[in-house]
Amino acid sequence: EVQLVESGGGLAQPGGSLRLSCEASGFIFSSYEMNWVRQAPGKGLEWVAYISSLSSNIYYADSVKGRFTISRDNANNSLFLQMNSLSPEDTAVYFCARERAGAGRPDWFDSWGQGTLVTVSS
């Protein structure tokens, strides 16, 4: 069974940092492209960042470019999101999402974690 479990959320001060983790199991993690998607309270879904299976390609939403860094550790089946210079607008539930494998092009998200809440407030 595919499982994605996020952790690392919590309360951060404006201008502060947090590092989110997503632990994957039930599939060959190193074969899949991964993403972070966030959802502000009561709002819709916003794609945040993408990383290819071997970390050779990385993309970010304009709203987080230069502040957030996506990375992965295939040996330990883990995905990360380093978030710096946080602002209240970054307050959201952050989901890790697996992209369907093997298409050779962008694809839909076929598995999601339960999410971890990040609150940015003084």
Partner 1 sequence: DIQMTQSPSSLSASVGDRVAITCRASQSIDNWLAWYQQKPGKPPQVLIYKTSKLESGVPPRFSGSGSGTEFTLTISSLQPDDFATYYCQHYNSNSPTFGQGTKVEVK
Q: Which residues bind partner 1 (CB under 8 A)?
A: 44-47, 50, 57, 59, 61-62, 95, 97, 100, 106-110, 112-115
∠ CA(12), CA(41), CA(120), 5° rounding?
A: 10
CB of 75 to partner 1, least distance (A): 26
DSSP class of residue 32 equals S
Nearer to partner 1, 13 or 89 (CB): 89
Nearer to partner 1, 14 or 103 (CB): 103
CB of 39 to partner 1, least distance (A): 9
C-alpha Rg value of the chain to the nearest Å: 14
Nearer to partner 1, 11 or 103 (CB): 103
DSSP class of residue 100 equals P
Got the DSSP string for 55-91?
Answer: SS-EEE-TTTTTTEEEEEEGGGTEEEEEE-S--GGG-
CB of 74 to partner 1, least distance (A): 20
Nearer to partner 1, 18 or 49 (CB): 49
8 Å CB contact between 117 and 7: no
CB of 12 to partner 1, least distance (A): 22
